[in-house]
Amino acid sequence: MKKKILVFALLAIIFTVAFAGGCAEGETEEAVKSVTDDNGLTFTLFSVKGSPQGDYSYVKVTAYTGEEDSGNKIVKVTVPSEITIDDVVHKVSVVGSLVFYEKNVSEVEISEGVEEIESFAFGYCGTTTVTLPSTLKTIGEYAFVNCNSLRKINLNATVPPQIGGYVFMFYREDHNVYEVNSILQIKVPKSAYDAYKSAWSEYERIIVK
C-alpha cells in the first residue's frame, strides 16, 4: 500500500508541474494539436511563446494505446524521428510521462532526434529491451522504475544524458527500499564506457560495453 501511495503522490506532482507549464516567467506553453498514428502512438504539437530563446514549437509523444503482448504475440514499437501534423513534418523530440506506463510491450526503439524521456515514461512496464538514440540528453526521474522485465537498454549517446533519481530502480516491498535493477544491462558505446561509469556511478555495476 505504501508503494502505491508513493507512486500516486509522485504522479500528482508530475501532473501539477505539467499543467502549470513548468515555464519561465512570461513564457507560455500550449498544446496545439494531437494525432495518433497506426501503431497507437499519440503525438502532441506544443507551441511555446515568450521564451528567452524566442518562440518555438516541438512534438512530444503523449500516449500509447496500441497493441500489447498477449500469449505468443510479441509487440515491438518504434517511436519515429518525425511525424506529419496538418501536412507539416515535425521532428519528435520528447517521450512524455506515462507513455509506456504499465504497458506490456516487448521492445521499444526510440529513433534518432529524440532528446528527452520524461519521468515515469516506462514505469512499471513489461518491456524487455529498449533502444535509446545518440541524441538523448535527459532521462527524467523514475523513468524506468519497477520495470522488472527489463533486461537490456541499448544506449547510443556518446555523452551520458543527465538523469533523475530512481531511474533504473525497483521497489522491494519486503525491505521498503528502492534498489538498482540488477537483472538489467545498460549497453553503452565503448568510447563512452568510462564516462558513463563516472557520470552514472550509482548504476556502475550494470553498465556494459
Rg over CA atoms, the chain: 17
Higher pLDDT among residues 15 and 46, named by residue = 46
At 120-147, the pLDDT tens digits run 999 999 999 999 999 999 999 999 999 9
pLDDT of the residue at 171: 86
The one-letter amino acid code at 15 reads F
pLDDT of the residue at 81: 97
pLDDT of the residue at 209: 94
26 is written with which cell numbers? 512570461
Contacts of 71 (CB under 8 A, 6+ apart): none
| Average pLDDT in the chain | 89
pLDDT of the residue at 12: 46
**Cβ-based neighbour number of residue 153 at 10 Å:** 22
Residue 110 has pLDDT above 80, yes or no: yes
- Are the CB atoms for 167 and 145 separated by under 8 Å? yes
From residue 83, give the alpha-carbon distance in Å to each of 36, 51, 55, 128: 10, 24, 20, 26
Q: Tell me, yes or no, if the pTM score tops 0.85.
A: yes
At 17-70, the pLDDT tens digits run 443 445 556 778 899 999 999 999 999 999 998 877 788 899 999 999 999 998
Alpha-carbon span 104 to 107, nearest angstrom: 9
pLDDT of the residue at 7: 52
pLDDT of the residue at 73: 85
∠ Cα 127 33 75 (to 5°): 20
Residue 8 has pLDDT above 70, yes or no: no
Q: How far is CA 27 from the centre of its chain?
A: 24
pLDDT of the residue at 173: 80
At 154-209, the pLDDT tens digits run 999 999 999 999 999 998 888 788 999 989 999 999 999 999 999 999 999 999 99
Residue 10 has pLDDT above 80, yes or no: no
Residue 95 has pLDDT above 70, yes or no: yes
